[in-house]
Chain A
Amino acid sequence: MYLAENIRVKADGKAILDNVSLSLAPGKVVAIVGPNGAGKSTLMKVMAGERRSDAGAVTLDGILLSNWKAEKLSHRRAVLPQSAVVAFPFLAAEIVALGLPQYFSRNDGRNLVERALAAVDLLPAREQVYDTLSGGERQRVQLARVLVQLWAHGGKGYLLLDEPTASLDLPHQLATLRIAREHAAAGGGVLAVLHDINLAVMAADEIVAMREGRVIARGAPKEIVTDELIHALYGVKARVGSVPEGPFLLPQGVFS
């Protein structure tokens, strides 16, 4: 289990996260939704162990996150960054291989790297310089890297994805969510920040809706995604329907 309890984060006297709790279980996909500035990315950083909270605690497998060594922690959870600039001209395959542990043999490593690149539909680009790829392709290379990081240790760890679909086209958005579902099906856990409510509804077992640093709703997509929630979250007037099956969102203009 991956647990965040009563997390509070302050910056410049303002609460960015206020009493946020979250639990992530193996086999589940949890989506965080909410407007810009809701504290979603900060929550991800706290969950990843990258940022300390001012109050509250995050535990992984029952152990406080601050008591994990960076290396051991990397075997249990991997983090997909929102956007990653790489300093030097690494090849796509070399970036993916950064997810491998040091002691991996070259052949095992190659197999995992190629499997991950195939999973994100980028095997042909493996010898291309990362910087020359498009934004969406770079994001998929990074996804392959975090997959490799967990696969190298049994594939059952937790994936933290910060806007994994942000710069992807529709088929690759769907493919990314399929990968997240497959990871959960294989016994891993997934926590993803998603901006597209429709995608969140499709992919998640649980949706956590955040606004102004607080969780204002959580639950199964079909139960909590309502006209009222969308209005409370975004101030947008929308009607949630379910044609032909499963809720979806039809924006009808911006409203204050």
Chain B
Amino acid sequence: MTVGDAALSISWRRAGRTRSILIGCALLLAAAFLASLAIGPVVIAPAKVVSILWNGLFGVRGTSSLDLRDAIVVLDIRLPRTVLASIVGASLAVSGAILQGVFRNPLADPGLVGISPGAALAAVAWIVFGGLIAASVPRVIVNLALPIAAFAGSLAAILLLHRLATHEGRTSVANLLFAGIALGALASAGTGLIIFIASDQQLREFTFWTLGSLGGSTWQRVVLALPFALVLFAASFRIARELDALALGEAEAFHTGVNVEHVKRIAIVIVAAGVGAAVAVSGIIGFVGLVVPHLLRLGAGPLHRTLIMGSALLGAALLTVSDIFARTVATPAELPIGVVTAFIGAPFFIWLLRRHKRSFG
């Protein structure tokens, strides 16, 4: 299957604007990435960051103790965290875009409709009960199983959501949100209960799972999340055209030649993978999957190929910037990153509701 050029930007006017917006998103991500490496308790000049990165590629870390310190700060502390922020941000935004395409609704955000809470519940349950079952299992395997457990949790949540919200092939907004809110509340309650009764060392505090954090990011976590994110990105481009057709309705998409059930199955699995991996390494971070795709639709149009590309870039940039705020606003303490994204996302959500008042009725 190739992605056809004909469907992409049949309009020249929009094609030009779409290209500029994608380039803009890429530049924004580059700037956010650099800023995230430069800003912190020790501020390092961007030029120096670039040279540390360049030298780091060849394993060179400088000679003076000051150079060495900066290299450690950039390469060992900030780089894994920034990379993880990008992966998580991109995964959440792309998951949101795909979910919205499948449910034909711009309000379907992984956090809002209970998918991220489902992943968190499964992750917490694995840490507590999985450890009980297999106390002798090496730590590496336990860690590997964490994103898989989160994946299973988000998959279960999406399947439940789909079943609860869809009636005779139609998904009503009210059903989607009610079912999602109920699922999310139930999963969060379960998570809270498990954390309350467990005293596991591995288990982080409740705020990590409910509001998210990129604190303590390591390369190990990057390696855990990356394969899931890559599956999400690679597969999402393959169903981009089908998601466009789905906007017409499921029956109409079938009429234009789309195997609807097949596309939905792929979408559900890859969204579960993306959200599961993101939650496993950084807890529940809300609103990214809501805000980013919507902004892109406003600017670059709803065609999913550009929407997915743009969501990956802008989602990564947004979460990287949010993380800079989260770790610098209250130094030496860290804000949960979900607090930052909620401050950006919640007002946006309200604006969105007001703007669509009639059509969401």
**Chain B window 235-270, contacts with chain A (Cβ cutoff 8 Å), 1 for yes, 0 for no:** 000000100111111011011111110000000000
Given contacts A69-B259, A70-B257, A84-B249, contact A89 B297 (CB under 8 A): yes
Q: Mark B217-244, 1 if CB is under 8 A from A, else 0.
A: 0000000000000000000000001001
Using Cβ atoms and an 8 Å threshold, which residues of chain B touch A149?
Answer: 256-257
Interface membership of A100, Cβ < 8 A: yes
**What separation, in Å, do the CA atoms of A84 and B254 have in the docked complex?**
14
B14 touching A91 by the CB < 8 A rule? yes
In the assembled complex, the CB of A75 is this many whole angstroms from the nearest CB of chain B, namely 7
Contact at A88–B258, with CB atoms within 8 Å? no
Q: Is B142 an interface residue (CB 8 A)?
A: no
Tell whether A94 is near chain B: CB-to-CB under 8 Å: yes
- Inter-subunit contact B7/A102 (CB<8 Å): yes
| 0/1 string, A71-106, CB within 8 A of B gives 1 | 111110011010011111111011111111111111
Which residue of the partner chain, among A81, A90, A94, A105, contacts B251 with CB atoms under 8 Å? A81
In the complex, chain B residues whose CB is within 8 Å of the CB of A145: 256
Chain A residues near B7: list those with CB within 8 A. Answer: 94, 97-98, 100, 102, 109
A74 to B242, CA, bound (A): 13
Is B11 in the interface zone, CB < 8 Å from A? yes
Q: Please, which residue of chain B has its CB at the minimum distance from the CB of A83? A: B249
- CB pair A104–B4 under 8 Å, yes or no, is yes
A93-126: CB near B (< 8 Å → 1, else 0) gives 1111111111111101110010000000000001
| Docked-complex contact B301 and A91, CB < 8 angstroms | yes
Judged by DSSP, the binding face of B is loop
Closest A residue to B241 using CB positions: A102
CA–CA, A113 to B10, complex, Å? 8
Q: Assess whether A182 is interfacial by the CB under 8 Å rule.
A: no
Cα–Cα, bound, A49→B255 (Å): 8
Which residues of chain B have C-beta atoms less than 8 A from A91's C-beta? 10-11, 14, 301
B3 contacts partner chain A, Cβ-Cβ < 8 Å: yes
Nearest B residue to A74 via CB reads B257
Which residue of A70, A72, A93, A99 contacts B254 across the interface (Cβ within 8 Å)? A70
Q: Which residue of chain B is the closest to A49 with respect to CB atoms? A: B254
B257/A73 in contact, CB under 8 A: yes
User: A48 contacts the other chain (Cβ, under 8 Å)?
Assistant: yes
A101 to B254 alpha-carbon distance, docked (Å)? 13
CB distance from A38 to the nearest CB of B (A): 20
Given contacts A50-B251, A73-B257, A88-B247, whether A106 and B14 have CB atoms under 8 Å apart is no
Cross-chain contact of A100 among B3, B6, B11, B259 (Cβ < 8 A): B6
B residues less than 8 Å from A101 (CB atoms): 4, 257
CB distance from B17 to the nearest CB of A (A): 11
Contact B5 A106 (CB under 8 A): yes
In the complex the two chains form, what is the Cα distance from A50 to B257 in whole Å? 11
Q: Find out whether the CB atom of B258 lies under 8 angstroms from the CB atom of A70.
A: yes
Flag A49-75 by CB within 8 Å of B: 1 or 0 each. Answer: 110000000000000000001111111
Beyond A84-B248, A87-B104, A110-B10, whether A94 also contacts B303 by CB under 8 A is yes
B105 at the interface (CB under 8 A from A): yes
Q: Which of A75, A79, A98 has the most CB of B within 10 A?
A: A98
Q: Does A127 contact B (CB under 8 A)?
A: yes
* Cross-interface CB contact of B255 among A48, A96, A106, A110, cutoff 8 Å: A48
| With contact pairs A88-B106, A103-B2 given, residues A97 and B10 touching in the complex (Cβ less than 8 Å) | yes
Query: Could you tell me the distance between the alpha carbons of A100 and B10 in the complex, rounded to whole angstroms?
Result: 11
Given A49-B254, A89-B297, A105-B5, check contact A70 B259 (CB 8 Å): yes
21 contacts between A and B (CB under 8 A): A69-B259, A70-B254, A70-B257, A70-B258, A87-B104, A89-B297, A90-B303, A94-B10, A94-B301, A94-B303, A96-B10, A97-B7, A99-B256, A101-B4, A101-B257, A106-B10, A108-B6, A126-B11, A127-B11, A145-B256, A149-B257
The 6 A-B residue pairs with the shortest CB-CB distance, nearest first, are A109-B6, A74-B257, A88-B302, A87-B104, A102-B4, A104-B6
Interface positions of B (Cβ within 8 A of A): 1-8, 10-11, 13-14, 101, 104-106, 241, 244-249, 251-252, 254-260, 297, 301-303
Known: A69-B259, A102-B3. 4 other contacts (CB 8 A): A73-B257, A94-B7, A98-B256, A104-B4
